[in-house]
Every structure is written in C-alpha cells, then in structure tokens.
Amino acid sequence: MTEAEHVSFQPETDRNWEAFYKQDVSAKIPSFSRDGRIYDCIYAQQFNRPLLDELFTITDKLRDITKTVEGEDYVSSLLRNKRTMLWFTQPSTRTFLSFLNACQILGMNTSDIRDAKTSSEAKLETFYDTVRTFSSYADVLVMRHPEAGAAEKAAWTLKAGDRPIPVLNGGSGPDQHPTQALLDVYTLDRYLQRNMKRNGDQASAERGSGIDGKKIALVGDLKRGRTVRSLAYLMKNYWDVELTLIAPEQFKMESDIRGFLDKHGIPYHETDNFEEGIRDADAIYMTRVQDEHDATKGESAKVDYSGFGLKPKHMRMIKKSCIIMHPLPRRTEIDSEIDQDPRAVYWKQERNGMWVRAALMSYVFKKEGDILGYNPVKK
Ligand code: CP
C-alpha cells in the first residue's frame, strides 16, 4: 500500500472487505500468515497436522516446566514485554479466563473490554477506529464477538493500517471458534491415547495421535454450534476418523461442513437417534442449544431437544473406553451425576484450554524454541 492509498483507506466503507470476505477460505488463509507461520488465528482450517502436533508438544512442555517455581519464573519472563487486549463483547467465562490466565503464565499484561456499552463503541465509533485503538496499546488482540466474520474483519482491517497486530478469534458469531477446537483436539488426543495404553495397546498409542482411527459422535445444535463446526474442520488432519452427527432435524450440520467432510474423504453418518448414534463411539462431544443465535424469538424453544441429553443410563450403553466431552457451558445435556464417571473429561478439557492457549500465544510470538529447549539448571 502506498502512502497515498493508506491515507484514503476507509475500511468501514471499503467494498474491498466484502470482496475479500466472499472468497473461499482456502484463498484467504495466506493473508493470515506471515513468514510461513500463522499470524492471525481466524479459521480452524489454518492448522495442519505438524503444527497441531507441535502446539501440543509445547502445551505438554509448558505444563511440565511450570510445575517448579524456577520453571514458572522462566516461562513468565518470556513475554513480559508484550500486552494482550481481550475484547469480549459476547458473554464468555472459559475462553476469557483461559486466555487471561494463559497471558499471566507467559508474563503478559492484559487489558479488557467485556461490554460494548462501556467502550466508545457505544458512541458509535467505527469498527476500524475501535480495533486500531486496541493496536495502539496492545501487541495482540484476542476477541469474542456476536457477529460471524468479526475476527476476520478485525485482522483484515488491522493489516491495512499502520500498526498491525495479530488477532486471535475467541469465537465469532455462529461460524468459528478455532482455539476451542485446538483444546478439543488436544483433549481427544491425550485421553484417547490414555485409553489405548490402559487397554494394553501401547504400540498404537505411541505410533500416532489418539484420534486416528476413532469414531467421534458430535451431538446437539450442530447447525449453529461454532465449536463443533471448527472441530469438524480439524478432523481433516487425522487418519481414518469417522463422525456421527447426531442432531434434531432443525439443528443438522450445515452443508458447508458436510461439503468439507466430503471433499476431505471424512466419512460421516447423520442421525436423530441419540442412543443409536452414541453406542459405538470412542468419544461423545455434547453441545447445548445455541439459542443466542435464534433468528426469531423463541425459535429454539419449539425444537424438541429432550432426546439429546446424556443420562446415567446411557453410560451403561456406551463403550467402557469412550470419553465424554462438552465445550461448556452446559444446561441439561449432561446429567451432573455423570461428572463422577472417569469417562467424563469436560472439566479437564476446560483446563486444557488455558495450556493450549498459552502454547498458541507463545507460538504467535515465536517463543516455542525457548519453551521446548528449556532445561532446568541442575543443582
Ligand atoms: N467453550 C466456551 O467457549 O465457553 P465460554 O463461552 O464460557 O467462553
């Protein structure tokens, strides 16, 4: 961009954004990379298997290092000179807190806005001016937004300005939640691998990911559930995975995801029969109704969701090695009695989010070598 172009650049009104947004994701992904690495984390499709494996190795190493005070001091010195802006104008508990704590683990300072009514967005500041202002104070923007495409727009907008910073998508409308998908895949991998070892299949456990060759049931509001959508995209990175998509007719997985699964040769089976669908699964991923995305008031309430909940009786029907996951928050999809069952890993999944997000942050700032190469001083 020349200086003249920069001065006249009006991202809010510029039709270039619409043209850019309409492109196929695969054509846009290079725009969110720099030096052959992910710069902005916008789409789950940006991740390949080597990068996933690397991020999960960093995650494990971070967990290990920070078990000692010395290691914790080391890790918290790595990004002491970096600041994070947490812009969360749609409700969140886990994504917000796990990113906040990930920043603290890495020694980063944070600022946050959690309600658009308390920021100058309420004074009708433009989207561009809002995100440009964040970049004046921060080195990375993590955002949760009610609109689909908002994180992408922020990244695209900042790139055209004079102080670009990376943007990490913490959930944008009903379309994507890529960092949730990362922690979901990490959890699937680690707990399915644990089960393989427990069942005496040490060789398979050590050969590949715990996800390879597994049958995964995705249950609930698959139409508007951004976590299941992003998770489905990541499945392209694993061998011989089979998906069972269990949903009421009104909440069936959208054609874009089904088309993606077809394109990547990932077999899937759709059903509205919950008990049939979960019976031979290696992992069951439950979700709640995403009624915040209702187009008309009360739309979701008209859908009979009562048959899509996991109850203690179901735990006797499913595999002994099956793991139960949920991105949370839950309503009635999983009976709280199931929390005591060792197959329920959703509380571990939630905590994994903090470590995986810390690994992602360290990768974004190219600190993975410092983490993987860390050796405690022998006393
Ligand atoms: N899983 C998830 O995104 O949870 P929060 O909405 O609490 O961040």
Question: Could you read off the pLDDT tens digit of each residue along the chain, which spans 379 residues?
Answer: 343 334 344 555 567 899 999 999 999 999 999 999 999 999 999 999 999 999 999 999 999 999 999 999 999 999 999 999 999 999 999 999 999 999 999 999 999 999 999 999 999 999 999 999 999 999 999 999 999 999 999 999 999 889 999 999 999 999 999 999 999 999 999 999 998 888 888 777 777 789 999 999 999 999 999 999 999 999 999 999 999 999 999 999 999 999 999 999 999 999 999 999 999 999 999 999 998 988 898 999 998 999 999 999 999 999 999 999 999 999 999 999 999 999 999 999 999 999 999 999 999 999 999 999 999 876 6
Report the number of distinct structural domains present in the chain: 2
Atom of ligand 1 nearest to the CA of 97: 8
Instruction: Provide φ and ψ at 93, rounded to 5°.
Output: -110, -60
**Bond into 342 cis (ω within 30):** no
92 within ligand 1 shell (Cβ under 6 A): yes
95 within ligand 1 shell (Cβ under 6 A): yes
Atom of ligand 1 nearest to the CA of 95: 8
pLDDT value of position 197: 87
Atom of ligand 1 nearest to the CA of 353: 1
In a domain, 299, yes or no: yes
Say whether both 213 and 248 belong to one domain.
yes
Atom of ligand 1 nearest to the CA of 144: 8
pLDDT value of position 198: 86
170 within ligand 1 shell (Cβ under 6 A): no
The identity of residue 174, as a single letter, is P
Give the β-pairing of 215-219 and 283-286. parallel
328 within ligand 1 shell (Cβ under 6 A): yes
C-alpha torsion 189→195→201→203, nearest 10: 30
Atom of ligand 1 nearest to the CA of 96: 8
Question: How far is the C-alpha of 244 from the C-alpha of 259, rounded, in Å?
Answer: 15
Say whether both 161 and 243 belong to one domain.
no
Say whether both 148 and 9 belong to one domain.
yes
Q: Whose CA is nearest to atom 4 of ligand 1?
A: 94
- Ligand 1 centroid from CA 225, angstroms: 11
Atom of ligand 1 nearest to the CA of 177: 3
93 within ligand 1 shell (Cβ under 6 A): yes
In a domain, 236, yes or no: yes
202 within ligand 1 shell (Cβ under 6 A): no
Contact assessment for residue 344 and residue 48, using Cβ atoms and an 8 Å cutoff: no
Q: Whose CA is nearest to atom 6 of ligand 1?
A: 92
Contact assessment for residue 230 and residue 172, using Cβ atoms and an 8 Å cutoff: no
- Ligand 1 centroid from CA 177, angstroms: 9
Say whether both 125 and 185 belong to one domain.
no
- Ligand 1 centroid from CA 16, angstroms: 32
The identity of residue 48, as a single letter, is N
In a domain, 378, yes or no: no
Say whether both 249 and 361 belong to one domain.
no
DSSP state of 119: S
In a domain, 337, yes or no: yes
Say whether both 134 and 183 belong to one domain.
no
- Ligand 1 centroid from CA 198, angstroms: 31
pLDDT value of position 378: 67
Say whether both 323 and 241 belong to one domain.
yes
C-alpha torsion 185→186→192→194, nearest 10: 180
220 within ligand 1 shell (Cβ under 6 A): no
Which of 92, 176, 288, 347 to mutate to test ligand 1, by most ligand atoms within 8 A of the CB atom? Answer: 92
Q: Whose CA is nearest to atom 1 of ligand 1?
A: 327
**What's the order of all strands across the beta sheet hosting 242-246?**
268-271, 242-246, 215-219, 283-286, 323-325
Question: How far is the C-alpha of 138 from the C-alpha of 320, rounded, in Å?
Answer: 47
In a domain, 22, yes or no: yes
In a domain, 377, yes or no: no
In a domain, 238, yes or no: yes
pLDDT value of position 358: 98
Contact assessment for residue 95 and residue 69, using Cβ atoms and an 8 Å cutoff: no
Question: How far is the C-alpha of 246 from the C-alpha of 308, rounded, in Å?
Answer: 8
Task: Please count the other Cβ atoms lying within 10 Å of the Cβ belonging to residue 76.
Answer: 15
pLDDT value of position 245: 98
169 within ligand 1 shell (Cβ under 6 A): no
Say whether both 339 and 358 belong to one domain.
no
Say whether both 151 and 243 belong to one domain.
no
Q: Among all residues, which ones are annotated catalytic?
A: 94-95, 123, 144, 177
In a domain, 379, yes or no: no
Say whether both 66 and 91 belong to one domain.
yes
Which of 87, 90, 94 to mutate to test ligand 1, by most ligand atoms within 8 A of the CB atom? Answer: 94
327 within ligand 1 shell (Cβ under 6 A): yes
By C-alpha distance, which of 362, 321, 43 is closest to 182?
43
- Ligand 1 centroid from CA 329, angstroms: 6
| CATH number of the domain bearing residue 188 | 3.40.50.1370
C-alpha torsion 21→111→180→298, nearest 10: -70
What are 189's two structure tokens?
Answer: 């991998």
**Domain membership of residue 265 as a residue range:** 178-349
pLDDT value of position 14: 64
Task: Please count the other Cβ atoms lying within 10 Å of the Cβ belonging to residue 187.
Answer: 24
94 within ligand 1 shell (Cβ under 6 A): yes
pLDDT value of position 218: 98
Say whether both 296 and 224 belong to one domain.
yes
Say whether both 80 and 155 belong to one domain.
yes
